[in-house]
Structure 1
Amino acid sequence: MNELMSQGLELMLTGIGVVFAFLIVLVVLMTIMSALINRFFPEPVAAMPAPEVPQAGGDTVPPHVLAVIQEAVRQHRARQG
């Protein structure tokens, strides 16, 4: 029975070693591939659009939305006492 346990342990450690080695190789190859792709096919840098500035005097919130917000605030304050 001792020999059977020894063989099982050896098989388990061999399997774990093979999986670990495969994962190490996979990470190394993915890192190399990523570096090559970034070097030869760089992603173009998009220009950031300028943020829209609301004009003075113009309401940015529609009146019906403003009414709903005001009613919600009124109800919340009424509950708080």
Structure 2
Amino acid sequence: MTSSQLLLEGVELMLFGMGFVFVFLLVLIASIRVMSYVIAHFATAPAAQPVAAGPGSAADIDADTLAAIRGAIQQHRARRG
């Protein structure tokens, strides 16, 4: 084989490889878009429900418990520096 034939085969192989990668990436992008559409269409999440204040809401805490919580927070902050 001459050097020009080797060079042409190398260019041909390069173009074949680049074309294969390009087609693979196009297929990958298309499949990601299809999966995104399918997930968005069929897997709709229900809207978040607001949580009502239960028996442990802040209005129900007595003064002694609130003072203990404040003291614990102050002690924790003093230890951390």
What is the TM-score when the length of structure 2 is the normalising length? 0.60
Which structure has greater helix proportion?
2
In the alignment, structure 2 segments of 5+ residues that lack a partner are: none
Residue 32 of structure 1: aligned partner: 34
What CA distance in whole angstroms lies between the structure 2 residues aligned with 1:38 and 1:18?
Answer: 30
Distance in 1 (alpha carbons) for counterparts of 2:42 and 2:34: 12
Task: Note closer, same or farther for the CA distance 1:67–1:40 as it changes in structure 2 (3 Å cut).
Answer: closer
Sequence identity percentage: 32
Misfit runs of 4+, over 6 Å: none
The structure whose RCO (Cα within 8 Å, separation 6+) is larger is 1
> How many residues align structurally?
70
1:42 aligns with 2:44: yes
TM-score relative to the length of structure 1:
0.60
1:67 equivalent to 2:69? Answer no
